[in-house]
Amino acid sequence: MSLITIYHNPACGTSRNTLEMIRNSGTEPTVILYLETPPSREELATLLADMGITPRQLLRKNVEPYEQLGLAEDVFTGGQLMSFMLQHPILINRPIVVTPLGTRLCRPSEVLLDILPDTQRGAFTKEDGEEVVDGQGKKIK
């Protein structure tokens, strides 16, 4: 089992870029397709605690259930928001990456570089053409 886990949605460009940056460090992560295999309530609570964010900060806002459920209203407890995320995993923002150096919501994908144990093995360019890592494996920005 890998020391790195990514909660991944292959339909998301940020998630795909993050996965490829992990692979560019020479590591094949454990990939959890969280829409098919959502975390348990306990796992979600642990991820939130490890990231140091609230359930509201992890909510994905530009998806259909967000509006339908009225989640823009600030009337729900953290526990209620977690319940909505578990019922509708598309509400969980992604990608979430867990490494020995920490757990982060990797938006933008280069947030990953702060918790990646191994350096990049070469240049990395995002799908949109943005260069993130140079030929020596160093962060560009």
CA–CA–CA angle 6, 4, 23 (5° rounding): 80
Tell me which amino acid residue 113 is. Answer: L
Q: Quick check: is 106 catalytic?
A: no
Selection from 31, 25, 38 nearest residue 2 by Cα: 31
Neighbours of 66 (CB within 10 A): 17
CA distance 94 to 63: 13
User: Tokens 């757990």 appear where?
Assistant: 103
CB 140 within 8 A of CB 134: yes
Candidate list 12, 19, 92, 106, residue with the active-site label: 12
Catalytic positions:
12
